[in-house]
Amino acid sequence: MSAPALPPVVGTETWQRELDALRRREKAATRELDAIAAQRRRLPMVEMPDYTLEGEDGPVRLVDVFDGRSQLIVYNHMWFPGEEWQCGGCTGFTSQFTRLQWLDHFDARFVVVTQGPIDEALAYRRRVGNTMRWYSTANSSFGTDVGAPPGGGFAVNVFLRDGGTVYRTWHTDGRGTEQLGFGFALVDLLPFGRQEEWQDSPPGWPQQATYSRWPSSEDVAALYGS
């Protein structure tokens, strides 16, 4: 098997010039992301009904999932009834978040909500070594109402609590979730990137089928599970 193509080798001055040109684009993108975040902070919001979810200790109102904070991020984890191993993408993505206490300083919390029955969801959480707090919407329309119905995909939703009232402020799905994790941010810095066939890479760069390098749920359990 032949070795993959490599970037051209140049002198330091040429390399610095090319890096400087790239950095101008990177800085422009950072400023655009700042502007997008500013627009996000100005989004209107919608009042939510008084949902009841299922947690480790039994039924819990959505307002109480905040655990006293005023802001809440929810990752809606895909769920396939009767399956031993759930979505590898969701499993791998949420495994990144092992030190969420620093969100306390921002009056915020980040939790997982899934369509799976709470006992099964918690058993799966333990199997794959996930350290986030999990809740079930199996007996509630909450998941369906925020873009993550039974049999549907994953999503991220953000909520704001004002006293006893909860408002939905933001939602994304698909690749919109990438900004929340560090995995792809690190891989995208590498010379070969994600090595997936959809990416715009120079001729000869290693490329494989999309998702082929992603860890499976079994892989995550072996790395993080008990």
Q: Specify if 29 maps to a domain.
A: no
Q: What is the mean pLDDT of residues 205-225?
A: 92
The pLDDT of residue 226: 66
Q: Specify if 28 maps to a domain.
A: no
The pLDDT of residue 94: 96
Task: Give the pLDDT band of residue 225 (cuts 50, 70, 90).
Answer: confident
Q: How many domains does the chain have?
A: 1
Q: Which pair of tokens denotes residue 74?
A: 């929810």
Q: 89-143, pLDDT tens digit by residue?
A: 999 999 999 999 999 999 999 999 999 999 999 999 999 999 999 999 999 999 9
> Average pLDDT of the chain?
95
Range of the domain at 145: 46-178
Q: 154-195, pLDDT tens digit by residue?
A: 999 999 999 999 999 999 999 999 989 999 999 999 999 999
Distance CA(53)–CA(59), nearest Å, equals: 6
Match 């895909």 to its residue by tokens: 78
Distance CA(143)–CA(54), nearest Å, equals: 12
Cβ-Cβ contacts under 8 Å for 187 (sequence gap 6 or more): 193, 194
The pLDDT of residue 18: 97
Q: Specify if 162 maps to a domain.
A: yes
CATH number reported for the structural domain that contains residue 74 in this entry: 3.40.30.10
Q: Specify if 74 maps to a domain.
A: yes
Q: Specify if 93 maps to a domain.
A: yes
The pLDDT of residue 102: 94
Q: Specify if 185 maps to a domain.
A: no
Other CB atoms within a 10 A radius of the CB of residue 195 amount to 17
Phi, psi for 63 (deg, rounded to 5): -60, -30
Q: Specify if 79 maps to a domain.
A: yes
Global pTM?
0.94
Chain-centre distance for alpha carbon 219: 18
Q: Specify if 207 maps to a domain.
A: no
b vs e for 198-218, b when ≥16 Cβ sit within 10 Å of the residue's Cβ? eeebeeebebeeeeeebbebe
Cβ-Cβ contacts under 8 Å for 172 (sequence gap 6 or more): 155, 156
